Structures are given as structure tokens and as C-alpha cells.
Amino acid sequence: MSIAKPLPHDAAVLHVTGQARYVDDVPVPAGCLHLAFGLSDIASGRIVSVNLEAVRASPGVRKVLTAPDLPFANDVSPSAHDEPLLAINRVHYVGQPLFLVVADSHLQARLAARLAQVEIDADQPLLTLDEALAADSRFEDGPRVYGRGDVKDAMCSAPCRLQGQIRIGGQEHFYLEGQAALAVPGEGGDMHVHSSTQHPTEIQHKVADALGQPMHAVRVETRRMGGGFGGKESQGNALAVACAVAAHLMNKPCKMRYDRDDDMIITGKRHDFRIDYDVGFHVDGRIIALDVQQFTRCGWAQDLSLPVADRAMLHADNAYFLPAVRIESHRLKTNTQSATAFRGFGGPQGMLGMERIIDHVAAHLKLDPLRVRERNYYQKEGGLSAPRLQEPQLPPEDVSDPERETRNTTPYGQVVQDFILHDLTNKLVAAADYSDRREAIEAWNSENELLKKGIAFSPVKFGISFTLTHLNQAGALVHVYQDGSIHLNHGGTEMGQGLFQKVAQVAASRFGVGLDSVRITPTDTAKVPNTSATAASSGSDLNGMAVKLACDDIRCRMACHLALLHQCRPDEVRFRDGHVETPGKIYTFAEAAQSAYMGRVSLSATGFYKTPDISWDRIKGKGRPFFYFAYGAAITEVVIDTLTGENRILRADILHDAGASLNPALDRGQIEGGYVQGAGWLTMEELVWDDAGRLKTHAPSTYKIPACSDRPEIFNVTLWDGENKADTIYKSKAVGEPPLMLGMSAFFAISDACAACGANYPDLQAPATPEQIMAAIGRARG
């Protein structure tokens, strides 16, 4: 059985040998043309004139298109139809495409695009959250509010109370393969698009709309991406549509790929947030009331900002029961790149706000933040109340407290039925020797003035499902050929995470054959229609189940055929170890397939799966948006230099819940990579715009991502031993997004080190760059 084996990535050899084929590697037909956008260098203003004569006269240029030249729709928005492919009358951010150059080569197109003479009557852009808030520039009429209980009354009755604020920076996706597309025109108006996208059906829809064709005229194919992280969920629309329109007009193949600088200047980032909080709590750290305001910088177009901001609200509790809570969300419109999906999809920002609140409460009470976290956990699985440490100096709990019986319901009304963080925390704390190390760090800090160490624990409770309910569906197509080889296609896309390998393992296990019998082909809208994006950590859950259902359909037909031949029941036919066993004969799988073929049995099937038991009303903020929760926790130790603000992650210990893992090797890789990416977001990745709205961190030379040397020297990653209680594929759990939030422990470890410099709360802001660390040290010292 192939399930649960730590098998290598299916394309690992192709990756390391350079044979893996990406969009830019697809051999193009003769006469292929290349595209580039001409970009605005003004953040906000009215377009007065655009002189493109020099562009048209540039060597190799075949055509230059502006908005009026587009044959049908001028729209690449995934949601609100507010994002034109090419600007109309006004510009809204530095980097907005104004016109499209079609040339003989990529270099010629890029050089020509810089020759335009554009006059724009600039006005004052809104660049920051504070500016947008002051101008009431937003994407909804007012703030959205979720919550429960009488927060005002509970706050007044709280023995302790704190207010605070944290600013959370955005993040560049920095996928290794940039945005790319290739469109090849066919007969009768058909268009074949190769796209580096997480959402082939979205590309199909937008291209069909731009060409004035039904969706059946457009075929979108995605073999693999060199990373996505959410940045290819909607941001690839512009390239695919541009290529398809140019290919339609020129009747030639057209290709487009962004140079790295252009990619970073044009495309959206993770949403940056400001979170204000007012919290009331007991003297033992238990939260009584919480009032949170989340301010989200969405950029110039709506894109996916509303569901991102919704998920930030849904994860504002993280792992903690909040008796009375009010969560207010402002979705603010600014003259910056349209912020978009990024691994975690708003969840990390919401969680970081909650973890900051816990950290601040613990500092105020001079308690270990770990103990305060434990006291606020949701109800233990199978228990009546969340266990809390009873310490002599703390008052005993009121056993008549009605909250004790209901500490398992989220602010949006979903019952948390599988909360395992109590046991998971205990196991991690013991394995990482947390208590002794904290004491050793305190002793070390008392003897060292220049270098200070810090240690922190942070938990994760992450909801798994698309919050837009209809996206929780997937299809698959499975063929068994007469020689026993298996052809597999599904709606998920491969971006390096190992989805194809996991789904192949599912198919191999259903038929009882080795992985060498299974071939997964590129994601293709002509094979599986109406696919959802590979996002929301749902790739294996959705597509794995769809493939299982298709395989089981074929297996049932084969079993019935062989049962008829051997006069036995179908349930007596066994598929295992490359063979099909009946009471009368043992076949190789190939022989069984040949027999079924000769018996005129269909060996092709589709599978369809929709996530059960979910419902969500985003307007009311009530329902069950998530099928289940994935859990994890991390302990990180760091050291900071108090003279320079530099920091190093010394050690990380992680215990993560992947359910009954489909592939422990791939899941460990996702956990390690997620932690490093999360730590990078919160410690070093800083986006900087100047006062005119120009992105200054637009290349590897100016934007720092974690390198191999930034990973912890000691890096212990362990999978939690337990099945998913929800009925998922082989009882596994999603492992794409949840591990990113484990990196929060690095941020709070740095904050802990800063706190060792003085008596005051350091109020560290994210990302914790050297400048922010020095400022936090100054606040700690007073």
C-alpha cells in the first residue's frame, strides 16, 4: 500500500537535473510573439495623453494595444470586475499596465515598452492604512463585525484591562518561477493556454470572456509551477488574457513572462494589517472580554481582499475561547498593488493579533506566556473544561462558572470538536525541554549585556475549507488501460508541494499497485471542468477524494466482471500487491485489466467530491465554515544583538498535526518550509514604498527572504501521531498553510529577548527588522 509512505516528490529528479518543464520551457511554435506591458510611473491620476509612436517604431514591434483595441472585455478581476487589463482614463498605482507591446522577442518587447511618452495629471495618492482610513476609502460601506456576548459589560467587570496595537507588514510571494503564460490559437476561434496558475478554470473563464467565446473554446493547461503561495491564484489572469487577445488578433502564438522586477512591481502581496485591541482579563490571564479592530490595506482593486479579511476575522481567536468578543474589520482601498492571496489567506494576520494579545497580557501579569495560553485554550477534546494550572499564588477558579461547560464554540458559532492542543502542547514542551531552557536563558541574560536570548511557544488552530462554500468541490478523471497502466487527471495544480505524488499514492493504493503504474498528467480544463483553485490547503483533501471515488468506481466494475467469471461475490475480489485475487485465480493487475477490456467493461471513470457538513453566512458571521481544524505548535529560541538589532534563530522544535499523513516526507518538507516562510515574513521581509507610491523593494537586491543560513541550526520537526476525526482522505489533514503560522514563535522569541533588556513591554512590531528590534529595546528600557 502506497499510503503513509515517505516517498520522494514525483518530479524530484526532474527538478534537480533541470528537466522539469515549466511554462517558459514549453517549446513554442514557429513565429511565436512576445509581450510586455507598459507601466504607469504615477500612483494616482488622470491619463492626459499617451504617445506610442516611438514604441511602434521600435525594432521588432508588431503591434501595440491600448484599452480601446481590446476586442471584448477589458477585465482581469477575480471578483468585482474592477481591475481592467489595461488602464482606462485613470491610473491607480505605480506599475499598473497602460498598454501592451507585441514584439518578436521578449527583450524587444520590454525595451519598446519603455519608450512611451505618457502624460498623467497626478493627484495625491492614498498609500497607507491611516491615509485611507482618514479618507474613508474602503471596499465595503462600513466595517464588518463578528462576535458574541456583551463585550462592553464584560470589559467593565474585568479585574485587569489592556489596550495595544500591532502593525503587521505585507509579504512578497517570491516564487522561484515568475508569472508566465503562452497562448496558441487554434481553428474556429479555439485557444490553448499554458499558464503558471493555481486556478486554471479562472484563467479559462477570463480568457473566454476577453475573446467573446464560450468556455468550451478555451483550454487551459498547467503542468507545474515553480512556487505559487497564493500569488498565482488570481495574478496570472493578466498575462493569460493578454497572450490570448494578442494571439487572437495576430493569429500567432503569443508568450509573456514577467521579469522579476516587473513581477514584483505589478503583482499583489500579502495584505498588511494594523490591529488595535482592548482586552479584559482575570489575574491568572484568562480572557474575559476582547474588542479587536482589524485594518486591512487592500490596494487599488478588490481582488480577493474580502475573503482574506473575512478569514483574518475567523482566525482572530486562534486557539483560545473568548467568552465575549467583538471583531471589527475595515477593508481599506489604497493606491498600491492590489493585495491578494498569500499562504494562510488572512489567517496568519488574525492569529498574530491574538498571539500578541496573549503575549501582552502575560507580560503585564509577569507570567509565562505559555501558561497564559494554556489557560485560554478551547475545551479539551472529550473534556468538560480547559485544564488550567493551579498555582498557589493564584485564586482558584469558580467551579460554578457557566463558561466551563461551553468553552468549545468559536465566536462565529462553530463547535470545536477535535481540540488536541492540550496534549500536543504537553508533548512538545516536554520534548523541547522548555522549562529548563527558559530558566537557563534567564540566567544567561542576567550575565550578558550585549547579546540577549529569548524563547517563545506559539500554537496554531487553522480552519480547513474554502470560506466560499461552492469552491469546496473537485473532480477527477481516471483511465485504466488494457496493459494495466493508469492515467490520472484531477483539478489540483502542482506548485512544488507534492500534490501530484500524494494523489498518485491514493490511486495506487485503491488499485493495489505500485506507483510506477500511475501517471498523472498536467492539469487540464479539457479533462476536468469547473475546478477550484489549489488553495485553502484543500488540494489533497478535495482531489484525493475525487480520485478515490473514480478509482473505486473502476475497481468495482473490474471486481464484478471477475466475480462473474469465477462465480464469487465481488467483495471476495482483492486488489493488492500488484495482483487481483479471486477464489479461483490470481491475476496480475495487467491481466485483470486485459480481461475486463475483453469483457467490454468500461475502465474509465470520473470522480466528484464535495466537502460535507459546511455552511457559512459571511454577512451574519455565523455557521460552520470549516470541515475541521489542523493544529500545531512551535517553540523557538533566538539571540539578538542589542547594539545592531541583528538576530539569529538558534533552535526550533515543532510538533504538527497532519492527521494520518499521506506522505510523511512531503509533509515534513511543507512544515519546515512553512515555518521558515512564516518566520521570514515576521523577522526580515520588509516591503517599502516611497512617498510617491513606488515600491523600492522590487528585486532580490532590495527585498530579503530567508536563505538556508537563516534556518534554525537545530530544527526538530515531528508529526503528531493521530488520525483526523473528520472523514477525509485516509484520515489525513491538510498541511499546506497551517505550518506557516508556526513561524510566529520566532517573532515572539525576539520580543522575549527584547523584554530582557528592560522592565517595560517592548511592543515589537512586525516584521522584526533590526530597526524594529532596536526600537523595541528602547521601549523596554524606557
Alpha carbons 274 and 356: distance in angstroms, whole number: 12
Is this prediction's pTM over 0.85? Answer: yes
- The DSSP secondary structure of 213-229, one letter per residue, reads --GGGEEEEE---S--T
**Exposure of 283 in the CB half-sphere (CA atoms within 13 A):** 9
Alpha carbons 200 and 350: distance in angstroms, whole number: 29
- The DSSP secondary structure of 471-496, one letter per residue, reads G-EEEEEEEE-TTS-EEEEES---SS
Asked if residues 748 and 683 have their Cβ atoms less than 8 Å apart, the reply is no
Dihedral pair phi/psi, residue 668, rounded to 5°: -60, -40
Alpha carbons 454 and 438: distance in angstroms, whole number: 8
> Quick one: how far is CA 662 from the chain centroid?
20
Q: What percent of the chain lies above the pLDDT cut of 70?
A: 97
SS3 630: strand
Taking the CB of residue 24, how many other CB atoms lie within 10 A of it?
17
- Sheet with 287-299, edge to edge strand ranges: 144-148, 324-333, 287-299, 272-281, 160-168
Q: Where are the alpha helices (DSSP H) in 522-662?
A: 539-566, 589-598
Note the pLDDT of residue 382: 60
Copy the grid coordinates of residue 197. 496558475
- Sheet with 451-464, edge to edge strand ranges: 451-464, 628-641, 647-656, 714-719
Alpha carbons 578 and 561: distance in angstroms, whole number: 18
- In the chain, which residues have pLDDT < 70? 382-405
Give the DSSP H/E element, type plus range, for residue 73.
none
Alpha carbons 47 and 120: distance in angstroms, whole number: 4
pLDDT digits (tens, 9 = 90+) for 331-362: 999 999 999 999 999 999 999 999 999 999 99
> Quick one: how far is CA 58 from the chain centroid?
41
Q: Which of 666, 338, 308 is nearest to 501 (CA)?
A: 666
- Active site amino acids: 737
Note the pLDDT of residue 383: 53
- How far is residue 199 from each of residues 191, 525, 535, 607, measured CA to CA in Å? 17, 10, 9, 19
- How far is residue 756 from each of residues 419, 574, 637, 724, 770, measured CA to CA in Å? 33, 64, 14, 40, 16
- The DSSP secondary structure of 689-756, one letter per residue, reads B-TTS-BS--STTTS----GGGS-SEEEEEE-----SS--GGGB---SSGGGGGGHHHHHHHHHHHHT
Q: Which of 693, 23, 677, 617 is nearest to 343 (CA)?
A: 677
Asked if residues 576 and 625 have their Cβ atoms less than 8 Å apart, the reply is no
Asked if residues 335 and 666 have their Cβ atoms less than 8 Å apart, the reply is no
pLDDT digits (tens, 9 = 90+) for 121-159: 999 999 999 999 999 999 998 999 999 999 999 999 999
Alpha carbons 616 and 372: distance in angstroms, whole number: 31
Note the pLDDT of residue 388: 40
The number of helices, as runs of H, and strands, as runs of E, in the chain is 19, 29
What's the DSSP call for residue 136? T
Average pLDDT over the chain, rounded to an integer: 96
